[in-house]
């Protein structure tokens, strides 16, 4: 097990947003976390990456308890994140943004290899390597955010809504790239509104409702679950 979350609780002020979540991600998996707006998907990601402190439970990663570890130290241990809303540095070029992803690393030859890999996955970024991040289209910024997360060479890649705001053709493309990244050896935890795509690409998934996991199963089981279909796939 690469990531193991047990009875995780998180407070925003006095309001409990996560009421005791347990989930796990095994080495090599794509796991999807789906749920309606406000269910707590982004909050769960923030707890894992250390961007928000937890109030109870535990997070174990790669054999160690990281529940109270600083966010930057979690990156060094191998938790890479592409945040919702992208978070690209607008004044830096595409290349500089990608290099920022590798700022904790010292292995120059491997960094160059990973940069080549990111440009291979996203030819559009290669073409625009000298362009300022802030002038990229929404879809290109999304690619850049995923590329930057990959430059941390994560053991676990956290993707928060990678398809958000993308045109249908690009959504298809980004999910194909996610599958390729996984096939190349990166374990992925994915938060998505696009439950159809996420569940058809994921090995397993969890359904989150108002801060609780209400269902789990393989991607295929959840895709064919009547309640999931009705609530998240837009078919009765």
* Contacts with ligand ATP, residue ranges (CB under 6 A): 12, 17, 35, 37-43, 193
Residue 48 or 223: the one with the smaller Cβ distance to ligand ATP is 48
Residue 50 or 119: the one with the smaller Cβ distance to ligand ATP is 50
Which residues, other chains included, contact 165 with Cβ-Cβ below 8 Å and sequence gap of 6+?
A: 138, 139, 142
Q: How far is the CB of 84 from ligand ATP (least distance, A)?
A: 6
Q: How far is the CB of 186 from ligand ATP (least distance, A)?
A: 22
Residue 35 or 83: the one with the smaller Cβ distance to ligand ATP is 35
Q: How far is the CB of 37 from ligand ATP (least distance, A)?
A: 3
Among 118, 120, 122, smallest CA distance to 173 is for 122
Distance in angstroms (rounded) separating the CA atoms of residues 236 and 227:
8
Which residues, other chains included, contact 15 with Cβ-Cβ below 8 Å and sequence gap of 6+?
A: none
Distance in angstroms (rounded) separating the CA atoms of residues 82 and 59:
19
Q: How far is the CB of 200 from ligand ATP (least distance, A)?
A: 19
Residue 37 or 168: the one with the smaller Cβ distance to ligand ATP is 37
Region for 142 from its dihedrals, namely left if φ exceeds 0, alpha if ψ lies in -120 to 50, beta otherwise: alpha
Whether residue 90 contacts residue 134, with contact meaning beta carbons closer than 8 Å, is answered with yes
Q: How far is the CB of 59 from ligand ATP (least distance, A)?
A: 16
Residue 31 or 94: the one with the smaller Cβ distance to ligand ATP is 31
Q: CA quadruple 41, 122, 155, 74: dihedral positive or negative? A: negative
């Amino acid at each position: 097990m690469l990531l193991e979350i047990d009875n995780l609780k998180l407070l925003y002020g006095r309001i409990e947003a996560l009421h005791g979540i347990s989930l796990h991600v095994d080495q090599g998996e794509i796991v999807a976390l789906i749920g309606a707006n406000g269910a707590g998907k982004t909050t769960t990601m923030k707890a894992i990456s250390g961007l928000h402190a937890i109030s109870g439970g535990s997070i174990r990663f790669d054999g160690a308890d990281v529940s109270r570890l600083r966010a930057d130290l979690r990156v060094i241990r191998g938790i890479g994140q592409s945040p919702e809303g992208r978070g690209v540095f607008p004044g830096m070029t595409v290349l500089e943004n990608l290099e920022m992803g590798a700022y904790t690393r010292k292995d120059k030859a491997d960094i160059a290899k990973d940069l080549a890999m990111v440009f291979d996955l996203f030819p559009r970024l290669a073409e625009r390597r000298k362009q300022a991040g802030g002038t990229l289209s929404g879809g290109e910024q999304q690619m850049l955010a995923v590329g930057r997360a990959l430059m941390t060479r994560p053991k676990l890649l956290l993707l928060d809504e990678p398809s958000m705001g993308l045109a249908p053709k690009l959504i298809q493309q980004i999910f194909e790239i996610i599958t390729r990244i996984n096939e190349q050896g990166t374990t992925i935890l994915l938060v998505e509104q696009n439950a159809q795509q996420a569940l058809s690409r994921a090995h397993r998934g969890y359904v989150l409702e108002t801060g609780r996991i209400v269902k789990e199963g393989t991607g295929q089981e959840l895709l064919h679950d009547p309640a999931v279909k009705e609530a998240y796939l837009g078919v009765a």
